[in-house]
């Protein structure tokens, strides 16, 4: 069964927490099939195959969200994050400025979906495989 303790163990076990593919692999190994990150509250919500839901703050920091979403702005933020040019807090700030209210990470399909306040999809990005 998925627990907050399990989530915390995975989230803190990586030497480089910024290495997104390795963190995702750890969550998958713990039974996580999807998670949401809510930008305004800085809260993660993890889900397992049985529908168990676990909320955790982890490294989340609440950020303001722009009223109007920008596909170009979230694309640029993702590119900067993937290049290692910004940290997680900076990424969250840029995501909020791009109008992203939530992102959903589907660990089965290995896809992240960035959505605006109205639930519209601004961007979908594949989760890179562990190298």
Higher-confidence residue: 42 or 129?
42
Looking at 3.20.20.70, 3.40.50.300, 3.40.50.1580, 3.30.1810.10, the CATH number of the domain 4-126 comes to: 3.30.1810.10
Cα angle value 33/57/107 (rounded, 5°):
15
pTM score of the predicted model = 0.90
Which one-letter DSSP state was computed for residue 71? H
pLDDT confidence tier of residue 31, bands split at 50, 70 and 90: very high
Instruction: Provide the pLDDT for residue 14.
Output: 56
Instruction: Provide the pLDDT for residue 41.
Output: 98
Strand-pair category, 111-115 with 121-126: antiparallel
How many residues does this entry show for the chain? 131
Q: In the numeric block, which tokens belong to residue 48? A: 């397992």
Show the 3-state SS of 79-120: HHHHCCCCCHHHHHHHHHHCCCCEEEEECCCCEEEEECCCCC
Q: Which residues pair with 3 in a beta bridge?
A: none
Residue with the two structure tokens 């209210």: 101
**Rounded to whole angstroms, how far apart are CA atoms 122 and 56?**
25
pLDDT confidence tier of residue 10, bands split at 50, 70 and 90: confident
Q: What percent of the chain has pLDDT over 70?
A: 94
């Amino acid at each position: 069964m998925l627990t907050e303790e399990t989530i915390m163990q995975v989230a803190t076990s990586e030497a480089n927490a910024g290495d997104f593919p390795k963190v995702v692999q750890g969550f998958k190994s713990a039974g996580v099939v999807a998670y949401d990150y809510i930008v305004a509250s800085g809260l993660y919500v993890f889900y397992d195959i049985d529908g168990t839901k676990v909320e955790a703050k982890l490294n989340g920091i609440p950020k303001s969200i722009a009223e109007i979403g920008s596909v170009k702005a979230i694309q640029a933020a993702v590119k900067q994050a993937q290049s290692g040019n910004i940290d997680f807090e900076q990424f969250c700030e840029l995501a909020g400025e791009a109008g992203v209210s939530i992102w959903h990470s589907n660990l089965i399909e290995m896809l992240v979906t960035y959505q605006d306040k109205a639930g519209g999809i601004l961007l979908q990005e594949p989760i890179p495989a562990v190298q």
